[in-house]
Structure 1
Amino acid sequence: MTGLVRFDRVSVAVQGRTILRALSFDIREGEKAVFKGKSGSGKSTVLKTLLGVYPVADGEVRFAGRLLDRDTVSAIRACAAYIGQEPVLGADTVREALLLPFGFKAHRGKAPSTGRLAEILGRLGLAPLILDQHCSRISGGEKQRIAVARAQLLGKRLYLLDEVTSALDPESKRAVQDFFSDPALTVLSVAHDPDWIARCDTVFELQDGRLTAAG
């Protein structure tokens, strides 16, 4: 597999507080990696640093061999999907949320059919009836899966996931795990869920912003 993401002794400070300390790791294309550790250990900061939300104070971040800069961040955001614990879907109904990006110039004329929407939702353990539900009436776990479905419809291949299975029942969790087992998808995740962690290729453990274990 080709190297995709590299952190080389990266340190990140937010509002004067150092969050990541000399962090180094590599992620290959198609790899499923997870960061675990106590709350406040810097797990989510790793994902947001890759997206350019937090500046690198020291060290280097590279994506596909390119040093992280404004152009590289744009390239990452074009191919990546960040799914947080409470995604904002930006529409009234689930159908409208899934079709929202296809109203923009870059995706105009490429809107998927209802059958395609139902197919993607089904792979994530969601029934087609959810398409007509109001977004304010669905659970956080359902919102996360709808955000994943929207990213898949847009052809995203890099997924940055923050606790995507924590609120799911066992059946829904298996559906999500199976979805992300696709070798075409690269996954960098944050999780406490032992079932999710067991399905990952690589497990990184963080403590106080430092990598204490990898395997």
Structure 2
Amino acid sequence: MSPIIRFDQVSVAVREKVILSNISFALFPGEKVVLCGKSGSGKSSVLRTFIGLHAVAAGDVYFQQMQLTAASVHSIRNATAYIGQEPVLGAETVREALLLPFQFKAHRNQRPSDARLIEVLNRLHLTADILNQKSSHISGGEKQRIALARGLLLGKSLYLLDEITSALDAESKQAVFDVFSDSQLTVLSVAHDKEWLVRCDRILELEAGRLVGERTHGNA
């Protein structure tokens, strides 16, 4: 089985400061892998590097068998749902934010009905009345779940998640856990939440931009 994501001795520098150094790992279809470490250790930088938000200074990044380059980055982003700690929804209302990707030619024929929008929102412990709320008026946790709903509506199978459960109550958190229990979804995440960690297959430990350890689920 070929990996979906592979980092091969990847180093990244921002404004001449090295933020990732010689990072190598692979993520296989259906796996749930979490990046752990202190603040500033490079966890979020790994996610951002994969979608081309940080330039690779050395080494190579691959999506399936495709190398991350200026020419391929658009295809990689199209195949990936990246949900940061404070997602930019890009539209005035939640309904418009959910439907935004379906304005483009690639997804125009897949525009979901209101019933489908409500179905996906309910899965994430969000009620239908949020559709008419302004995107600027909803909480950070709600924005993350709206961004997740958009990924689900688009049928994405690869998710990059940055602290997606940190702002959620217990019921909302369980709803997110239930979504990602799907073996068809592949997840690379950043998290400190112990409940999230125990649901992941592998834990990658980062320190000062280096990968310093790896644990499989159930092994301390």
Deviations 1:189-213 (A, max 9, x none): 1111111111111111100011111
Separation (CA, whole Å) in 1 of partners of 2:85 and 2:27: 23
CA distance in 1, matches of 2:213, 2:169: 29
On the 8 A contact 1:92/1:135 being kept in 2, the answer is yes
Quick one: distance in 1 between partners of 2:2 and 2:179?
Answer: 21
Q: CA deviation at 1:91?
A: 1.7
Aligned to 1:34: 34
Does structure 2 conserve the Cα–Cα contact (< 8 Å) formed by 1:63 and 1:72?
no
1:71 positional shift: 3.3
Q: CA deviation at 1:92?
A: 2.0
Q: TM (normalized to structure 1)?
A: 0.95
In structure 2, C-alpha distance between the alignment counterparts of 1:62 and 1:98, rounded to whole Å = 29
Q: Tell me how far apart the structure 1 counterparts of residues 174 and 58 of structure 2 sit (CA, whole Å).
A: 39
Matches within 5 A, 1:88-107: 88-107=88-107
Q: CA RMSD in A?
A: 1.2
1:58-117 Cα offsets, whole Å, 9 max, x none, are: 222122122221233222111101111111112222111111221222222321111100
Change (3 A) 1:90 1:68: closer
Length-normalised TM-score, structure 2: 0.93
Q: Take 1:209 and 1:20, find their aligned partners in 2: how far apart are those partners?
A: 4
Write the deviation string for residues 134-168 of structure 1: whole angstroms up to 9, x where unpaired: 22221100000001101111121111111100000
* Alignment partners' CA distance in 2, 1:63 and 1:91: 29
Match of 1:150 in 2: 150
Residues of 1 paired with 2:118 and 2:130: CA distance? 9
- The 2-side partners of 1:109 and 1:200 are apart by 35
Does the Cα contact within 8 Å between 1:35 and 1:189 map onto a contact in 2? yes
2:111 maps to: 111
Q: Please give the alpha-carbon distance, in whole angstroms, between the structure 2 residues aligned to 1:121 and 1:75.
A: 27
- Per the alignment, in what secondary structure is the counterpart of residue 176 of structure 2? helix
Q: Name the counterpart of 1:16.
A: 16
Q: Which 10-residue stretch deviates more, 23-32 or 61-70?
A: 61-70
Instruction: Give the whole-Å Cα distance in 1 for the aligned partners of 2:91 and 2:142.
Output: 14
Q: Distance in 1 between matches of 2:206 and 2:126?
A: 33
The answer on whether the counterparts of 1:162 and 1:189 sit within 8 Å (CA) in structure 2 is yes
State the number of aligned residues: 215
Q: Which amino acid in the other structure matches residue 167 of structure 2?
A: A
**Aligned residue for 2:63?**
63
Give the aligned partner of residue 162 of structure 2.
162
Question: Which residue is 1:86 aligned to?
Answer: 86
Which ranges in structure 1 are unaligned for 5 or more consecutive residues?
none
User: Sequence identity, in percent?
Assistant: 61
Q: Secondary structure at the match of 2:174?
A: helix
